[in-house]
Structure 1
Amino acid sequence: MANAAQSDDHIPVIVGVGEITDRPKEITDGLEPLALLEQALKRAEADSGSKLLGDIGSLDVVNFLSWRYRDPEKQLAGRLGIKPAHLYYGPVGGESPIRYLHEAAQRIARGECGVAAVCGAEAQSTATKAERAKVELPWTPFAHDVEEPKRGAAFQKPMAVKLGVFRPITVYPLYETATSAHWGQTPREAMAESGELWSVYSKVASENPNAWLKRRFSPEEITTPTPENRLIAWPYNKLMVANPTVNMGGAVLLTSLAKARAAGVAENRIVHVWGGASAEEPRDYLIRDQFYESHPQNAVLKSVMDLAGGDGRKFDAIELYSCFPCVPKMARRTLGLGPDVQPTVTGGLTFFGAPLNTYMTHAACAMVRRLRGGAKLGLLYGQGGFVTKHHGLVLSRQAPGHALAQDTSVQAEADRHRGKVPEFVTEASGKGKVESFTVLYGRGGEVEHGVVMMRTANDCRALARVPANDGATLAHLTNMDRTPVGSLGDIAMAEDGVLEWQHP
């Protein structure tokens, strides 16, 4: 039962979820993000069984990238005819929907509002098709004078940008290769784990009516490169990475327990917010201590496990963020879950679809439905950047038995485990030891170049190129039966001022 000292006016609950997946027959019939948001919110209100949109006092809108607006949160509030005291449009980050849900729940717990909404939408599929067809969309005019939000390259070192390792698809492989080597896996074993895991995500997506790609893929289909499933950045094929070319909107409505009951929300629709945790890595990934684990991820997941009695197996419904396989593979180990874990209630960013920053809004919707359907304890884990920002949230149909905590950062715990960070250098000679690596591929499957993150003789960190014509070194890097992590090679400076690494 809820804490007796806690008034129902201060107990936050989720009462409504709404989603829309837009597949227009004609490009110009596609709904813009603002329209998708409005539809998702109306569906969330209908799902609650009561009239709540007019009472929204807190509205968080997840950042969108498929279309640029001036003050989209104000435009949305105007469409809804509301003037919430808290009105926020946040920065880029895949963890942001979970953070907004958590903060909205905390606002309700503090008595600052009675109804809160979190929503996000993207229309990248329609926007991309319109651009290719040179079709003008009848949407709110694109706000060219609004600054584009800062993303990957803005936070990375010039050498990372020069070598192409500044986008998610080229940075996450550095974690993939470092973690699997640390766990004692051969690349073949690591690939098999990824294939099995992603096949489970695809099965869940195939059963989710809101998913973009409703087809179950076998592990072999996912891990085998083909012209349709091309290698993008070693060891990731197209079916192992997020698919942002979708049109989707999602929304979650929260109220106080008192407000929910007064509004006539059925008891079996109410889902309690138990609490959660957050922590971050430095945005410049090259100033992290290592790449085989994430201290903030560990701290966040251990904190949410504490809410479940210290045992990750107590969660019978789980969503582990799935932009790339390394993320849920790391998370399941920290949670103490085996490779047979069902890591999703939604379907994953490859198969359900990756509406950029707002996938976890849809995951929250799927989690609420799963809990209403009989699951006891749900974990939502989202992350953003390059294994950078982490947020976990625990939900249940049952009341938590404790008041919602207001201080939920576990940054100090994460930082306590951080080791010495090596100095980053752009000049070196002698031998370099592989700390991690990837190989970048063109659209036709051709190697563009390899990138080795290495430690120099004096234990500095450097990035080095492996030219496309160095077949022997590339074969060493992509050997499926033996990881190159930890191997030594020769460092040389190329004419363009970039270090190169060669396996002897």
Structure 2
Amino acid sequence: MAEFPANVPVIVGVGFHQERNEDPTQCSEPYQLMVQAARAAAADAGSEELLRRIESVSVPRGMWQYRNPGRLVAEALGCSRAKSILSDLGVLQLTLLSELCQSIAAGERTVGLVTGGEAQFRALRAMITQQRVTDTEQPEETPAPDVHLTSSDPFCSDLESRRGLNLPVEYFAIIESALRCHQGLSVDAHRDRLAALYSSFSEVAAGNPHAWRREMVSPEDIRNPSAKNPMLAFPYTKRHCSQWNVNRGVAILVCLLRVAQELGLDSSRWVFPVVTVESKHVVVLAQKRTLHSQPGTVLCGQRAFALAGITPADLTAAELYSCFPAAIQSFALDLGLDGVCPLTVTGSMAFAGGPYNHFSLEGVARMVEVLRAGGRPHRFGLVSNLSGIFGKQACVLLSDVPRPGGYAYEDVTEAVAKIDQFVPLNEQYTGPATIVGYTVVFQRDHPSHAIAICDTPAGERTVAKSEDAFLLEAMMREEFCGRLVEITAGGGFRL
């Protein structure tokens, strides 16, 4: 590989550590899961020496309360001088990997670890069994992370919140309705298609050794609500949604190509980050001009493929972010991947398990395993990520061969901002309006209310709510996207 730049970053090891013990007192806490995953990554690379050489430990914030998780992990691994890096919720999960790759390419680091861990199954079992479990408490004098990546971008608008939009499942169900309308499917045909798609994902998860749930689920058991599979926000049942009650850690070891060569690591197992492209231009859902398609995703994909010198047809597989079905379908649409390659190698967050804020790292680690498995030369895999309600988008291309010009990173935020303009909101509007996306929210197995995002004749947007039982039933039988409704004082709507 002498013809390639000496500063090429390469993924030399990936590790997973998962625990299923139903006794919560026998389960590891989150940082310990990260440590075990890191040790597994070093074993995967074939070098314990790598752990001592780690110069940075990067961790996305989870549901735990550690002040400086990178420091805990570094001390446990014997690399206590490593820089600790923490990213908050709202920062793209792939940012930590791209930051490390950029640093290696710039000659600033030679070996780094990106890791994440959650123990929500432990917490769930502790609640069920009424047993007490605790996490390590770092004292107040613990130094802050050396680098702390934060985000102040909004999750939603005040109007959306005031009109009753609360949970991510409700927002993504609204995006789902817009996708259905774009696809030209009837409500029932769309539910059938969604169930078949997710049943196929459960089959992928069954073949993924790291998946939390490894049995196939029939389309009927996904589509239709039941005691164990309640409807949450039409058309989403529980089995359409990310499952974060897992005990799992993941770790990715990245080093300078020269270091991998010096250590004599097995080059047949190396996978190269080729390109990462990110868009951080945030538009809340109600103000997006198109709910089903994201300009940031489109541009990220275009630039990533151009920088890598490939097309979607060159992909071996993809791991598209899958917190809810609308996410994976919108990514597939905007990246041009429908019918081109598998959309998941993990089995999706619904079946593989979707830890709170690091699943994209698991997607990268699993993609490394898939690309190592062989097949045609010059294999490529794509992993995508979003933050918020599709507020930010990113994708990384991985390959068994490095990019001739070295690792490439591009931030397309400014370019996306020029084309992705906000639609103004009008909270006081009353009168006729056209629904562009909606859902029916369930509470205790019964439809509670509908939320609709609507266009006004003046080109503004409003958000409205209805509790009319007959209207709610109709909205689950017939397509209401594109329908004209009457917005009433106080934010209600009726036919």
**TM-score normalised over the length of structure 1:** 0.90
Moved more, 12-21 or 214-223: 214-223
| Matching residue within 16, 27, 30 for 1:30 | 27
Tell me which residue corresponds to 1:410.
412
Moved more, 226-235 or 298-307: 298-307
Alpha-carbon spacing, 1:155–1:94, altered in 2? closer, same or farther (3 Å): closer
**2:396 maps to 1:399:** no
Judge conservation of contact 2:281–2:414 (CA < 8 Å) in 1: no
| C-alpha distance in 2 between matches for 1:341 and 1:53 | 35
SS in 2 for 1:348: coil
Judge conservation of contact 1:63–1:90 (CA < 8 Å) in 2: yes
**2:125 maps to 1:129:** yes
Judge conservation of contact 2:61–2:89 (CA < 8 Å) in 1: yes
Shift of 1:398: 1.5
How do residues 220-235 of structure 1 correspond to structure 2 at under 5 angstroms? 220-235=220-235
Judge conservation of contact 1:17–1:365 (CA < 8 Å) in 2: yes
| Matching residue within 35, 40, 45 for 2:37 | 40
Tell me which residue corresponds to 1:354.
354
| C-alpha distance in 2 between matches for 1:44 and 1:450 | 47
| Matching residue within 62, 65, 73 for 1:64 | 62
Shift of 1:211: 0.9
Tell me which residue corresponds to 2:102.
106
Shift of 1:439: 1.0
Alignment RMSD: 2.5
Shift of 1:334: 2.6
Q: Percent identity?
A: 28
SS in 2 for 1:357: coil
Judge conservation of contact 2:31–2:73 (CA < 8 Å) in 1: yes
How do residues 181-200 of structure 1 correspond to structure 2 at under 5 angstroms? 181-200=181-200
| C-alpha distance in 1 between matches for 2:272 and 2:487 | 56
Question: Gaps spanning 5+ residues in structure 1: where?
Answer: none
**2:478 maps to 1:499:** no
Deviations 1:442-474 (A, max 9, x none): 1x311121111112333321111111xx12321
SS in 1 for 2:39: helix
SS in 2 for 1:387: coil
Tell me which residue corresponds to 2:293.
293
**2:474 maps to 1:476:** yes
| C-alpha distance in 2 between matches for 1:361 and 1:172 | 22
**2:84 maps to 1:92:** no
How do residues 197-212 of structure 1 correspond to structure 2 at under 5 angstroms? 197-212=197-212
Judge conservation of contact 1:432–1:501 (CA < 8 Å) in 2: no
SS in 2 for 1:351: coil
Shift of 1:284: 3.2
Deviations 1:48-82 (A, max 9, x none): 101201111122112111x2112222222222232
How do residues 37-436 of structure 1 correspond to structure 2 at under 5 angstroms? 37-50=34-47, 51-65=49-63, 67-84=64-81, 86-93=83-90, 95-96=92-93, 98-141=94-137, 155-282=155-282, 284-307=284-307, 309-339=309-339, 341-375=341-375, 376-406=379-409, 408-419=410-421, 421-436=422-437
| C-alpha distance in 2 between matches for 1:175 and 1:251 | 32
Shift of 1:499: 1.0
Aligned residue type for 1:17: V
Aligned residue type for 2:318: I
Tell me which residue corresponds to 2:146.
none
Aligned residue type for 2:299: A
Question: Gaps spanning 5+ residues in structure 2: where?
Answer: 143-148
**2:457 maps to 1:457:** yes
Deviations 1:164-197 (A, max 9, x none): 3132111111211112212322223332332222
Alpha-carbon spacing, 1:154–1:403, altered in 2? closer, same or farther (3 Å): closer
Judge conservation of contact 1:285–1:386 (CA < 8 Å) in 2: yes
| C-alpha distance in 1 between matches for 2:131 and 2:406 | 53
| C-alpha distance in 1 between matches for 2:76 and 2:303 | 39
Alpha-carbon spacing, 1:310–1:266, altered in 2? closer, same or farther (3 Å): closer
Alpha-carbon spacing, 1:106–1:242, altered in 2? closer, same or farther (3 Å): same
Aligned residue type for 1:108: I
SS in 2 for 1:52: helix
Moved more, 250-259 or 223-232: 223-232
Judge conservation of contact 2:164–2:465 (CA < 8 Å) in 1: no
| C-alpha distance in 1 between matches for 2:153 and 2:92 | 19
SS in 1 for 2:292: coil
Shift of 1:254: 0.6
| C-alpha distance in 1 between matches for 2:211 and 2:40 | 17
Shift of 1:145: 13
Aligned residue type for 2:470: A
Shift of 1:20: 0.8
Tell me which residue corresponds to 2:145.
none
| C-alpha distance in 2 between matches for 1:151 and 1:335 | 26
Aligned residue type for 1:277: V
Shift of 1:245: 0.8
Judge conservation of contact 2:316–2:341 (CA < 8 Å) in 1: no
Deviations 1:242-289 (A, max 9, x none): 011111100000111110011121111111111120003425333333
| C-alpha distance in 1 between matches for 2:293 and 2:362 | 27
Judge conservation of contact 1:153–1:167 (CA < 8 Å) in 2: no
**TM-score normalised over the length of structure 2:** 0.92
Shift of 1:116: 0.8
Shift of 1:140: 1.2
Q: What number of residue pairs does the alignment pair up?
A: 486
